[in-house]
A and B are shown apart, each in its own frame.
Chain A
Amino acid sequence: MTETKTFVRNKFSEYYQKHSPSIKPPTQIEKREFGFLALKERFMIRHKGFKNVNDLTKFLKTLVPSDVYYSSAYYEKPEEKMEEKSWLGADLIFDIDADHIPTPCAKTHDKWTCNNCGTAGKGVLPEKCPACGEQKFDEKTWPCEVCLESAKVETTKLIDMLTRDFGFHSKEISVSFSGHRGYHLHVETKEVQALDSMARKEIVDYILGIGLETSFHGLGEERGEMKSSVLVGPSLDDSGWRGRIARGTYEFLLTTTPEELENTGLKKKIIDTLTQHKETILESWKEKGPWGVIKGVGVEKWRKIAQRGADIQSAKIDTVVTTDVHRLIRLTNTLHGKTGLKKIEVPIPDIERFDPLKSAIAFKEGTVTILVSDAPEFRLGDQTYGPYKNRQIELPTAAALLLLCKGMAEVKEEK
C-alpha cells in the first residue's frame, strides 16, 4: 500500500473503532444482505449477513471497508446465492444524485478523461469523445455546493409528493445525505414492502412524470354554451399531478424566455402572442387559469407548455435504484470512500437549514500535511479552502481526507 492509502485506511479504521456505537443497524438486520468495498484491494464483498449490530461493528473494525452497503430487501437467507436467498420484501428507496440533475454550475468542477485516447475536458460528460468517438471515460466528480443545493431542491419536491400524493407520514420517510453528491430516501412501511418491480416502476414514472398526459389531468376542450368548445385546464390548488401541472405551468410562464419557448416547440407567432399577453396570463391564475384565455393559442400549444410545467415539478430521481428490489444501499453513519464524509440522516423539518458540508464531517480533530496536485476552491464546515495547484499544505483532517479520497492529493511523508 502507498503512504496515502495507508493513511486513509488508518483514518477509516480509527473512525470505526471510535464511532461504531453510532452505527444504527437497519431494521431486521438479520434479514439483510450486506456488501462492502474493501479499501485495500477495491473489490466488492457481497452476500454477508449479520445476526446483530455487534457482529456488524466487529466486522467493520477488522475489515475497514471504504464503503458499507446493505440490501433494501429482506431475505430469509441473506447469505445464500441470489436465487436461493428467498426474497421477503423490500423497502421503497429513492436516490437523488447531482449526476442526474442539470445544475446551474454546469458541473465545471467535473473532469473527464477518455479511456481510449486520453483526451480530457471539464463539465458535463460528453456522449462521445470529441476526438475519437469512444464512450468510456474516467470521471472525476466533485461535491460542489451548487450541485448539492440542486439535489436538495429535488429531494424537497420528492418529499412533497411522498407525503401529499402518496400519503406517507413524514415520520415514515427517512432522508439522508449520501456523503457525496446526493440524498437517499427510505420508506419502510409494511404496505410498500411487497411491491414488485413493476409497481415500483409506476411510482418512478409518477415522480418523474414519465408517460404523463395532460389530457388525463383536465387539460382539454369542453363543450361550452352555444355549442362552441371551451379550453379548460387544471387549477393551482388542484390535488395530485393536476395542481402540480398548474403550478409548474405558472412557474414556467413566469420565468421563461422567448428562446426557451422556442425550445418548447412553439412557433414565433405564438411566442409573440404569449409575450404580449404575459400580464393577462398572470392575472388569469386568480380564476380559471390561462387555458383558453388567449386567442390563437390552442389546446395542442397549451399541452406543450403544460408538459414543461410538469417537467419543472417532477423530482429527478434515479430510475434504477427504486425499481431494483435487490438494491444495495449505503448504511447510515458509515464513511463514503470517495470523500471521507459520512452518510448522515437529515430530519425532514430541518432540511431547509441542513448543511451537508458541515453535518457530514466525520473527522473533527487534527491536521495533516498533504501535497495537492490540483483542487478547486471548496468549503467544508465554516472554512473555505483552495484552489490549490501543486502545493504542500497543512489542512484539517476532514479537508485533507476529502482531497486524498478524491485522488487530488498525496500524503507528505513524515521524516
Chain B
Amino acid sequence: MQDLDKILSNYKGEKSDLIPLLQDIQSEYGYLSEELMREVSKFTGVPESEIYGVATFYTQFRFNPKGKKHIAVCSGTACHVTGAQQIIEGMERHLDIKDGETTPDGEYSLESVGCLGCCALAPAAMVDDEIKSKLSLRSIKKLFRGYNPEKPSK
C-alpha cells in the first residue's frame, strides 16, 4: 500500500482531515474498499463504523469500482424540464444497465447526479471530467457508437 502511505503523509490525521482524505483515496483507487477504510481508521483513530457512516452520507463516495468511462447525468431542474429523464432512460437502454450500475465488462458506469451547474445548455451530463451539453437522444447515440452491451469488450 505504497500509494496509500503517500496520500496519508499529506495529512496530520486529525478528524477534520477525514473527508479530504477519503476524497484523495477515492481519486487514486476509484472507490473506497473495506481494506482502505480500515487503514484510514488506524491512521485517524476514528472508528471504522464512523468512517463508513461519514462516507455513506456523501454521494461522492463509492464502495465498488466504477466503469472505465463514468457517466453522470445531471438531474437538475433545467435538465429535468428539457428531458433529462429521457436521456437517462436512453442511456440505460444503450448500455443495458440501470442508473447506478456498471456494465458487466467494466466499460461504462452510469448514475444520475445533482445539478452540474450547466443549466443554460441543458440537458447535460459529465463523461469522466468532461461536460457534454445540449444532449438529445440522437447525440447520446453518438456517444456510445461502436459499443454493444451484448458483445462486451474483453
Are A and B bound to each other?
no
Please list the residues of chain A having a beta carbon within 8 angstroms of any beta carbon in chain B: none
Please list the residues of chain B having a beta carbon within 8 angstroms of any beta carbon in chain A: none
